[in-house]
Amino acid sequence: MTRWQGIWRRGMDRLSIYLPVVLMGVLALASYWMLKNTPAPELPRGELPARHETDYFMRRFAVKTFDAEGRLKSEVAGAELRHYPDTDTVEINQVRIRSFDQKGRLTTAQAQHALSNGDGSEVQLLGQAHVVREADPPTSPQASPRLEFKGEFLHAFLNQEQVRSHLPVTLVRGQDHFSSDTLEYDNLARIALLKGHVKGQLVPKPATP
């Protein structure tokens, strides 16, 4: 065996001793590199809070609803409608509403703007608000006269036949006129609560012959 062969063999023997340690070090470095550069798995996200953003809108629209017998129950029309899913509310510009109760009595409403709940049973009218409940037929027992509400804000509860406002309102009942700073009106109970500066003009009924 030559001198160089002996040096080569001794070198290979030493390398064979340290090779497992070197390989383990390389594997450890490779594992660390892979762990560092592999994207971490996304943690389950909680439900994000709903944003007050429009999910759909309509322009120059008219929406009608009917009862089980096919009769018109309500009609809502306007220049533009925007729906917000987080509150299930609808905003309408230049709104016009027609609603019929169970007895077929018509109530109409209009305003520059409206804010309604999902089923349209509760409507806030803003800007030149005007609500009219037409008179009962004269042949009806205890027939109610025509009712008219005007103001910059009216909160109409159509199913309960109630109108409320914290702003000045004018109320016309038949030929009688009233004005007040606030209003709470319940048509079913036949009660009108007027507060603040209240003014009224009552027209006497013509005497029956």
pLDDT at 6: 52
Q: What is the pLDDT along the chain (209 residues), one digit of tens a residue?
A: 555 445 444 543 443 333 333 333 333 333 333 333 334 455 455 555 667 788 888 999 998 888 888 888 888 899 999 989 888 888 999 999 888 877 788 888 899 999 988 777 888 999 999 988 888 877 776 777 888 999 999 998 878 888 899 999 999 988 999 999 999 988 788 888 999 999 999 888 776 55
pLDDT at 130: 92
- Contact call for residues 126 and 113 (beta carbons, < 8 A): yes
pLDDT at 177: 92
Q: 153-176 as b/e, with b when 16 or more CB fall inside 10 Å?
A: bbbbebeebbbbbeebbebbbeee
pLDDT at 35: 34
pLDDT at 40: 46
pLDDT at 16: 37
The pTM of the full predicted model, rounded to 2 decimals, is 0.66
- pLDDT tens digits for range 89-130: 889 999 998 888 777 888 888 999 999 887 778 889 999 999
Residue of 78, 93, 85, 87 lying closest to 56 (CA atoms)? 85
Which CATH code is given to the segment(s) 56-201? 2.60.450.10
Q: Cα–Cα distance between 183 and 198 in angstroms, integer?
A: 10
How many helical (H) and strand (E) elements, i.e. helices and strands, does the chain have? 1, 12
pLDDT at 145: 86
Length of the chain: 209
Give the dihedral sign, CA 113/155/61/98.
negative
Torsion of CA 56, 58, 61, 67, to 10 degrees: 0
Q: Cα–Cα distance between 203 and 179 in angstroms, integer?
A: 15
Residue-range domain boundaries for the chain: 56-201
pLDDT at 45: 55
The CA distances from residue 46 to 43, 49, 50, 87, 123, in Å, are: 9, 9, 12, 20, 34
Q: What's the whole-number average pLDDT of the chain?
A: 76
